[in-house]
Amino acid sequence: MNLFTLPSLLLGFSFFSLFINNGVVFVDALHKIYPELQSLQTDGAVIKPLHRTRFHFQPRRHWINDPNGPMLFKGIYHLFYQYNPKGAVWGNIVWAHSISRDLINWKPLKPALYPSKPFDINGCWSGSATILPGNKPVILYTGIDPQNRQVQNYAVPANLSDPYLTEWIKPDDNPIVDPDSGVNASAFRDPTTAWLSDNGHWKTIIGSKRKKRGMAYLYRSRDFVKWTKAKHPLHSAPNTGMWECPDFYPVPLSGRRGLDPSVTGNWVKHVLKVSLDLTRYEYYTVGKYYPEKDRYVPDNTSADGWSGLRYDYGNFYASKSFYDSMKKRRVLWGWANESDSAQDDVSKGWAGIQLIPRRIWLDPNRRQLLQWPVEELNKLRGKEVVLRHQKLLKGHHVEVKGITAAQADVEVVFSFSSLDKAEPFDPSWVDAQAVCDQLGSKAQGGVGPFGLLTLASENLEEFTPVFFRIFKSHHKHVVLLCSDARSSSLKEDGLYKPSFAGFVDINLSSKKLPLRTLIDHSVVESFGGGGKTCITSRVYPTKAVFGDAHLHVFNNGTEAITVDYLRAWSMRSARVN
């Protein structure tokens, strides 16, 4: 849960400034809470459609943040989410509730949880859903009590025969987890989906911090009501600050199958993800869970800290995954806040989207995860255009015509005949975003920059490039993927326009690089290298809107690039809330 009530914390991504310290990008928060705007109702008739998405999840109006408690129950997908029913900035938070049969089209129900009892009177904040034996869902969530302590509560359906789970009950024996004297009661939140051990104990972890150390406290229970804190945390890491929205789950060593969170064994690894309150980024590690000791040990294949692996190297936070038992997959939800100002949000009447749900599985290299939009999204594909064997010399760009470029799905494979012209890689470039910020899409390189110009105006006054650049290191090549919003809008005031970037751990022996990009009016969601590196940008073009948006492939490197094939689809609008 993002605790926007604390003045020292960030309110989304508006008005960011970044600075770099030892290769780590920190966020200098200039944000403040807007109590005068929290309950400022917007007339539904004046909700501004200009930058609203058409196939991403968002409510009809007002503010949303963290996805909560996603689950499958009796063939119906449920998504709960933090929502302000009274305005387009954070405040008055309830657990809103929507249902779907395909993860793409959604019907809203009434809020499932809202502050009503002493144990949550000051807030019903983020949490998870667990399916107990007998197909009985239960929600674990963080409540804020009259002393402003963060306590953990549970809620159960009022009627298990109702597949929509319209009504939820908060029993009076809450809270079920109180912060003890060793826990910071102002930094103790967001319980995970619980898992069942072989000895019959349910287990969950709760995010916290001890001084500057991020903590995942572990709790055990036999009846899901009485919980006992373990002597040691499941895991912790120094100098990472508050761990929000932790997630912990198994993945098989091979294949794309998802697993119930209770699965253990030598044929699986485990993933621990945390959302870093200080930077508003998330990172995860892949490692080994020892159930007999209740300890998680990350593999020594990525950093366990700020510079570690991310689900997404852009505007993506407070993510939550769940096991889809119907399709045997693990599905990931992530929240993307607006990148404009609070005043902009109030003016347009809405703020925040949930990104397209992603299927996630372990890369065959066993060092990271792969991610891909759920297959149901493909049902929205409409008119298709195809490019094949299109050669791009230095400085060339070719428009992809015949689709709605403001609302599109694009899959492309780029190839090159040689890597001899790749620029040398500077070992001090430990932060991909800083490299992208320094070099950009316009500066000529050797192999790259090449990629897509999305949401481009007719004369390229504004555009959002998504592109690769390849460097030569001592023993390998380094691939950089960027999604650069700096040229995305002619509007400057009140917009955060960063050059998001991540490195792509990919074998270039085939001399090919795949990219998929989802374009939806104010969001550009990209999957590089087959889902190895993902970047989401929120953008607000002024000219490249609706039918005036254009899409190009481009190359600004001296090495000629070939578009082996490109398939692009106009996307139909989903029915969302």
Report the distance separating Cα 309 and Cα 213, nearest Å: 18
Q: Residue 24 above 50 pLDDT?
A: no
The 10s digit of each residue's pLDDT in 491-535 is 999 999 999 999 999 999 999 999 999 999 999 999 999 999 999
66 counts as catalytic: yes
- CA 168 vs CA 14, 175, 215: distances in Å: 34, 16, 30
Tokens 């939806």 belong to which residue? 520
- Structure tokens belonging to residue 328: 């045997």
Per-residue pLDDT band at 185 (split at 50, 70, 90): very high
The answer, yes or no, to whether the previous bond of 133 is cis (omega within 30 of 0) is no
Contact of 48 with 347, CB cutoff 8 Å: yes
Active-site annotation holder among 66, 190, 277, 294: 66
pTM of the model: 0.94
Q: Where are the alpha helices (DSSP H) in 244-325?
A: none
Count of helices and strands (H, E) across the chain: 2, 39
Residues 366-385, mean pLDDT to the nearest whole number: 98
Cα atoms in the 13 Å half-sphere on the side-chain side of 380:
28
- 3-class DSSP state of 231: coil
Task: Please measure the distance between the N-terminal and C-terminal CA atoms of the chain and give it in whole angstroms.
Answer: 23
The 10s digit of each residue's pLDDT in 111-148 is 999 999 999 999 999 999 999 999 999 999 999 999 99
Report the distance separating Cα 82 and Cα 339, nearest Å: 18
Neighbour-count burial for 351-372, b at 16+ CB within 10 Å, e otherwise = bbbbbbbbbbbbbeeeebbbbb
Q: What is the pLDDT of residue 48?
A: 79
In Å, the largest CA–CA distance within the chain is: 69
Per-residue pLDDT band at 19 (split at 50, 70, 90): very low
Per-residue pLDDT band at 25 (split at 50, 70, 90): very low
Q: What is the pLDDT of residue 384?
A: 98
Percent with pLDDT over 90 in the chain: 90
The 10s digit of each residue's pLDDT in 403-448 is 999 999 999 999 999 999 999 999 999 999 999 999 999 999 999 9
Element (H, E) at 437: helix 432-439
Domains of the chain: residue spans and CATH: 64-373 (2.115.10.20), 382-571 (2.60.120.560)
Q: What is the pLDDT of residue 33?
A: 67
Q: Compute the radius of gyration of the chain from its Cα atoms.
A: 23
Percent with pLDDT over 70 in the chain: 92
Q: Which residue type is seen at 503? A: F
Phi/psi-derived region of residue 148, left when phi > 0, alpha when psi is between -120 and 50, beta in every other case? left
Number of other residues whose CB lies within 10 A of the CB of residue 564: 16
Per-residue pLDDT band at 47 (split at 50, 70, 90): confident
- Non-local CB neighbours of 300 within 8 Å, separated by 6+ positions: none
Surface-to-core class of residue 415, CB atoms within 10 Å of its CB (0-12 exposed, 13-18 middle, 19+ buried): middle
Backbone phi, psi, residue 216, to 5°? -120, 90
The 10s digit of each residue's pLDDT in 150-166 is 999 999 999 999 999 99
Report the distance separating Cα 80 and Cα 134, nearest Å: 22
Per the prediction, the chain carries an average pLDDT of 93
Report the distance separating Cα 35 and Cα 265, nearest Å: 50
Contact of 73 with 130, CB cutoff 8 Å: no
Q: Residue 390 above 50 pLDDT?
A: yes
- CA 91 vs CA 94, 230, 285, 498: distances in Å: 9, 34, 32, 26
Q: Where are the alpha helices (DSSP H) in 175-299?
A: none
Report the distance separating Cα 338 and Cα 313, nearest Å: 16
Tokens 């929507």 belong to which residue? 98
Report the distance separating Cα 18 and Cα 574, nearest Å: 35
Contact of 258 with 328, CB cutoff 8 Å: yes
Element (H, E) at 347: helix 342-348
Q: Residue 261 above 70 pLDDT?
A: yes
Q: Which residue type is seen at 406? A: A
Contact of 415 with 479, CB cutoff 8 Å: no
Residues 232-249, mean pLDDT to the nearest whole number: 98
- CA 139 vs CA 93, 124, 130, 153, 176: distances in Å: 17, 12, 6, 8, 12
Residues 169-178, mean pLDDT to the nearest whole number: 98
Q: What is the pLDDT of residue 46?
A: 59
Residues 18-33, mean pLDDT to the nearest whole number: 40
Per-residue pLDDT band at 42 (split at 50, 70, 90): low
Q: Residue 324 above 80 pLDDT?
A: yes
Number of other residues whose CB lies within 10 A of the CB of residue 328: 13
- Structure tokens belonging to residue 130: 């667990």
Q: What is the pLDDT of residue 20?
A: 38
- Give the 3-state secondary structure of 130-197: EEECCCEEEEEEEEECCCCCEEEEEEEECCCCCCCCCCEECCCCCCCECCCCCCCCCCEECCCCCEEC
Nearest to 96 by CA among 62, 73, 142, 52: 62
Q: What is the pLDDT of residue 114?
A: 97
Report the distance separating Cα 334 and Cα 170, nearest Å: 26
Q: What is the pLDDT of residue 39?
A: 67
Element (H, E) at 271: strand 268-276
Q: Residue 3 above 70 pLDDT?
A: no
The answer, yes or no, to whether the previous bond of 449 is cis (omega within 30 of 0) is yes
- Structure tokens belonging to residue 486: 């700096």
Q: What is the pLDDT of residue 126?
A: 98
